[in-house]
Amino acid sequence: MRHTTRSVVALSLVLFLGACVQPSPGPSPSGADGATPGGSASETPTTAPSSGTPGNSAETWAAYKTKDDTLTFEHPARWTITDPAGQAAAGGIFLSVANEAGKQLATLRTNMVAGAECTTRSPYSLLDSQPLPALAQKGTTPRFVFEGRQGTDPATPGPFAYGITSSPAPSGPDACPIFHFFTWPPSGAAFGGAYNPMEAVEGATPGPDTPEAYMETQEYKDIKRMITSLRPVS
């Protein structure tokens, strides 16, 4: 069951979705990339994606620096960054990234207290994984992952999520609930989003067996490139 992609929406996703809260309505963001005042952005046209981070080679990308000048990442210039996207932790940031249609693709939060108890285990699918040495802390290198869990009703598609985690890779036939947080001073951070297999995406047919097909879409490739580009401001 380890590579099963037909999953069920389970309570395990609650842990992850805490970092992916839909932002409350607010004023429209401003700036060339939609960034609200405070963060900074600069367009960086590219002719080819970075190694290990596939993307559309013909698209213009922009670099965004967080308001506290600690982290930076790249994103398609046509996407919108909203900061703040909600109530941030004390001294932290909480921003969201949406595509040109307004679909939220990811959130970035810092100064979070990371930690969760593994009270239940379930069959899982690990669809993608990439180490991120630029974010290594105290000898631990976090990973970008795209994974899912199976619940009790195989007829209902269930939780899939992509993001950065410092948790050890699962072993054996089952895993703890999805928990996408990574170690970052002073405590933890989260950068990721949730995938709904029943939501239409250009290049993939909606259905519970399409996570692999979603990985071939430009949306997923751009999301992965964006998240894996996260690094400290030097």
Summarised one tens digit per residue, pLDDT across range 143-166 is: 999 998 776 666 666 689 999 999
Cβ density class 59-92: b for 16+ within 10 Å, e for less:
eebbbbbbbeeebbbbbbbebbbbbbbbebeeeb
Percent of the chain whose pLDDT exceeds 70 = 70
Number of domains in the chain: 1
Q: Is residue 98 part of a domain?
A: yes
pLDDT over 60 (residue 121): yes
Q: Is residue 169 part of a domain?
A: yes
Q: Is residue 167 part of a domain?
A: yes
What contacts 6, CB < 8 A, 6 or more positions away? 150, 154, 157, 208, 209
Give the pLDDT confidence score for residue 81 in this predicted structure. 98
Q: Give me the chain's average pLDDT, please.
A: 78
CA-nearest of 135, 155, 149, 211 to 17 is 149
Cα(199)–Cα(207) distance, integer angstroms? 8
Both structure tokens of 106:
């990811």
Cα(54)–Cα(125) distance, integer angstroms? 21
Both structure tokens of 210:
């399409």
DSSP-derived letter for residue 176 is P
pLDDT over 70 (residue 45): no
Cα(84)–Cα(70) distance, integer angstroms? 16
Q: Which H or E run includes 67?
A: none
Choice among 96-100, 109-113, 125-129, 194-198 with the minimum mean pLDDT: 194-198
Q: Is residue 123 part of a domain?
A: yes
Give the pLDDT confidence score for residue 42 in this predicted structure. 59
Q: Is residue 48 part of a domain?
A: yes
Q: Is residue 4 part of a domain?
A: no
pLDDT over 90 (residue 186): yes
Q: Find where tokens 């309570």 sit.
A: 11
Give the pLDDT confidence score for residue 91 in this predicted structure. 92
Q: Are 127 and 5 in contact (CB under 8 A)?
A: yes
Per-residue pLDDT of 52-81, as tens digits, reads: 445 555 789 999 999 999 999 999 999 999
Q: Is residue 136 part of a domain?
A: yes
Give the pLDDT confidence score for residue 19 in this predicted structure. 38
Q: Is residue 149 part of a domain?
A: yes
Q: Which domain holds residue 105?
A: 13-232
CA-nearest of 173, 156, 86, 82 to 122 is 173
Give the pLDDT confidence score for residue 208 in this predicted structure. 61
